[in-house]
Structure formats: structure tokens, C-alpha cells
Amino acid sequence: MTEPTVDPQPGVTVWEFAQDPNLGLRLQVLQAGEGMANWIRSPRIQKLGLALAGFTEYIHPHRVQILGGSEINYLQILKPAAKKAALDGLSGLGICCIVITRGLEPPEGLLKLSIPVLGTSFQSSVSIARITDYLEGRLAPRMTIHGVLLDVFGLGVLLLGPSGIGKSECALELVLKGHRLVSDDCVEIMRHGVDRLVGAGGPNLEHHMELRGLGIINIKELFGISATGRNKTLDFAVRLQRWEKDAEYDRLGLERSSIEFLGVSIPLIEMPVAPGRNVATLIEVAARIHLLGQQGHHPAKELLARLHPATGNN
Amino acid sequence: MIRQVIQVENRLGLHARAAAKLVRLACRFASSVHVSREGANQRIDAKSILGVLMLSAAQGTRLVLLIEGEDEAEAGQAIRRLFEERFGEEN
């Protein structure tokens, strides 16, 4: 599993940023200029205060710049020449865009700088929170893999394994047991922060599933809203594989494997599939074990400690 | 492992029936066959119809195929031929 490669540096264009209703700020374009194709490449914002005061070294061109009440009030106390100098100082820094908050009037001269200026009626604090949240989601490193993502007892369980091994059938059985399907077949994995993986369905796939013999079915239509989920933090992965006589499987539950996506590891259970092994039930039990483990219980270790008190876990 | 880039040439792109043909063909081989849009960070199993449909590859889309296994050479050739013959749907 060497490929796929990580995307080239992710980005959102100012145009997309201004149009996307998911941002929730109802942005208005006050000045478009030629900069609507500029790239926003960081979820962090900056406030323009220091730059207006003349200290422009720390301006990051690919961050959204916020112009709020304090900045605008500061500009108002400046003499006209100083104000013009402050604003002119902003051009040439490569700033991708400026967002004016609280529905404030853009200061005179700002719209002439050929930097895109957007306006929102929301306060700076709300705007900054929503912009950061939106951009963190949009700019998160992501990849699409072949697998099934389920919510089992509230845990995000990623089913892996070659096609035809029975991932979808297993997922269907888990849905029938009352668990939720997030995505069958294609899972888009995003890294939030440095240590959390979130999985969601591939675009347009929604909650469709293919079952050999039946073709494509829609889990949401067949089983309702409570049988499906939109996205889920990944807690552990289960890799289904054909039972091989000579292969060695974990008999104690002491070994822990893991699998890595986008630089984050999650626990991996290698699960042999054979007639008479109800994989859905096994996965349900695996989820229960994981929940116990989160509370510090470990059945195998506890049994061994009782059998061999002197040697502890060994 | 074989890596090959194939362009979708047929007018309708990888629509349902073409996708089904690709999946059926890929399933005939023991090798694993993965496909992705060129430049995209994805790994889609060519043996699964939903994944291939999700690619929604239109005419002109360039796809990267990664084939790995004992019969990878034959699989690579057969899949290339399927694309070149435009899934048998145009004269």
C-alpha cells in the first residue's frame, strides 16, 4: 500500500470560499478584482491590525485576513496621509483576501488595492470561528480508499479486505443488528489536526451498497435514517482475509497491529473469514472489546495475570 | 506491480455498462486492480462497481491503473484493450 500519493498542497480559491454556503457567513463580494482565483491554503486567519500599523513582516499571503471593528476604528483616528500609507502598505504583500466583519463599511481606499474584499454581517469572533472550522475541513489532508465504514456502538469501524471477501454482506448484517452504515466501498479519509482520522462516503455515493446477486441497493431507503451516518471518526480497522490453514492468527489478543493513513495509526484486527464464522458478530464483539479497552480493561491480560500472578502478563 | 495511465476515449465515459464491463474483466484476474483519477489521492478497487461508478470518468479523463499480482501483465493488457476498444460500444 505505497500509493496513492498525497495531494499537492491543498487549497480553496477565494471564489469558492466566497460562494460556499457551508461557510455560514453569507459573504458578500465587495471588491472582486483579479484576485478571486487566489488560493487560501491555511485554516488559520490573521488580523490586519499590526500590518496597518506598519509591521507587515508576519503577513501570510495564503491566510484570510480579518478586518474588524478595532482595525477600522484605528484607521479612522489616522490622518488622511497616514491612513493612505497604512492601506497602501497592504498591497504587494500577496494577500489572498480580506474579510470585513460586522457589516462595517470598507475604509476608503481599501477597494482600490486589487485585493479581493469580502463582507459579512457576523462579528469577528463568530466569523473567525466559522472560517477556521470550514477551512480545517476543506484543507485537511485526504485520501480515498477501498473499504466500508460503519458506526458500531458509536465507534468508527473501518472494514478492509479484497473485493469479494464479503465486506458489504458483513456491513449489511451489522446494519440489520442496528448499527449504522457510513459508506460502502469507497471511504474518504481526512486527517483532522495531527491525530484524528475522519471517514466519510465518497462524493455522490451516499449510502449505496452493492451486493452480488442483488446489484446496487440504497441502505437509507431500505432501512431509514437511523441506519446511516454521514461521517465518523475512525477508531479501529478490521481486515477481512480468507482463512488459510498455515497462517497464524492471534489466539491471545495480546498482539496489537496497526494501520496508518495520512500519518496517523489506528489499531488493526486481522480477521480470518471462514464458513461458520459470523464476521458481523465478531466485529460487534471487537467493538465491545475496544470500548472496554478504552476504560482500561483488557480480558486477555487480566486472565493471564490471574493464571500466572508471578510473571504478570507474560 | 504495473502502473499504466489510460485515457477514457469512448463518448459516454465510464457509465454504468462500461463500468460493469471493467469490473467484470478485473474480477477475472487474481491480481489486485486499483484505479484512480490522475493526480487525485484515491485508491479505488476496479473490482467493485460502486467505486468505479464514483470515479464518474467522462470522455477524456485520464485514469491511473495499478495492477499487482501473478497475472498482472495479462490483466494490464486486457484492461488496456477494453479501453482501446471503447468498451465495444462504438463502431
Q: What does the mean pLDDT of chain B come to?
A: 91
What is the structure's pLDDT at A312?
52
Residue ranges, comma separated, of all CATH 3.40.50.300 domains in chain A are 142-307
Residues of A in CB contact (< 8 Å) with B are: 1, 3-8, 142-146, 162-164, 184-186, 202-205, 208-210, 216
Q: How confident is the model over A8-25, as pLDDT tens digits?
A: 577 899 999 999 999 999
Q: How confident is the model over A149-159, as pLDDT tens digits?
A: 999 999 999 99
Residue ranges, comma separated, of all CATH 3.40.1390.20 domains in chain A are 12-138
Range of the structural domain that residue B64 is part of: 2-88
Residues of A in contact with B66 (CB under 8 A): 3
What is the structure's pLDDT at A160?
95
The region that residue B36 occupies, defined by phi over 0 for left and psi between -120 and 50 for alpha, beta otherwise, is beta
Which is catalytic among the residues B2, B15, B49, B69?
Answer: B15
Are B42 and A203 an interchain contact pair (Cβ–Cβ within 8 Å)?
no
Q: Is A251 a catalytic residue?
A: yes
Task: Tell me the fold of A142-307.
Answer: Rossmann fold (3.40.50)
Name the residue among A254, A276, A278, A291 with its Cα closest to residue A157.
A291
- CB pairs below 8 Å between A and B: how many? 66
| DSSP per-residue letters across A99-158 | EE-TTPPPPTTGGGSSS-EEE-SS-HHHHHHHHHHHHHHHHS-EEEEESEEEEETTEEEE
What is the structure's pLDDT at A8?
58
Helix axes A80-88, A69-77, angle to 10 degrees: 130
Q: What is the pTM of this model?
A: 0.75
Q: How confident is the model over A237-287, as pLDDT tens digits?
A: 999 998 887 777 777 777 789 999 999 999 999 999 988 889 999 999 999
pLDDT band (50, 70, 90) for residue A79: very high
Which numeric CATH code is attached to A12-138? 3.40.1390.20
Give chain B's domain count.
1
CATH number, domain of B17, equals: 3.30.1340.10
pLDDT band (50, 70, 90) for residue A48: very high
B43 pLDDT exceeds 90?
Answer: no
**Is residue A188 within 8 Å of residue A234, measured between CB atoms?**
no
Name the residue among A96, A87, A27, A109 with its Cα closest to residue A59.
A96
Q: Is B34 a catalytic residue?
A: no
Q: Is the ipTM of this complex over 0.85?
A: no
Q: Residue for cell digits 469580502?
A: A118
A3 pLDDT exceeds 50?
Answer: no
